Amino acid sequence: MADNPRITTENRFGDTPPREGPSPERALKNFRYVVASVNESALAVWADLWRELQQGVTPGGMVTPQRDEGFQPSCGWAEFLEKFWLLKHYLDYIHRYCQ
């Protein structure tokens, strides 16, 4: 027991077992960093999608008459839909991680 510096006299004789891992403050900070990173990725994907959709919308949110002809993403439908799937994945991850 003397070889393990993490076990103190208080921990050996107290009711509280020695704590493994980071402190609660550090764990919360790590949690915030992970959520912030995934959220930043989700916002970047959303911005890409919005740039595609924004071309046929006025600043007030009205759809221009050119959109009556149909929407064609410049990146192609496969990549456009993949970005939607990626956005859903990021949001789902944040949701599960926060529960």
Instruction: Give CA–CA dist 56/67, Å, rounded.
Output: 6
| Three-point CA angle 17, 33, 37, nearest 5° | 145
User: Structure pTM?
Assistant: 0.68
Residue ranges covered by each domain of the chain: 22-98
- Mean of pLDDT over the chain: 83
Which two structure tokens, joined as six digits, stand for 74?
């410049």
CB 90 within 8 A of CB 45: yes
pLDDT of residue 36: 93
* Tens-digit pLDDT profile for residues 24-78: 999 999 999 999 999 999 999 999 998 888 877 777 777 777 776 777 888 899 9
Q: Which amino acid is at 82?
A: E
3-state helix, strand and coil shares in percent for the chain, rounded to the nearest 5: 65, 0, 35
3-state SS string over 85-96?
A: HHHHHHHHHHHH
pLDDT of residue 60: 76
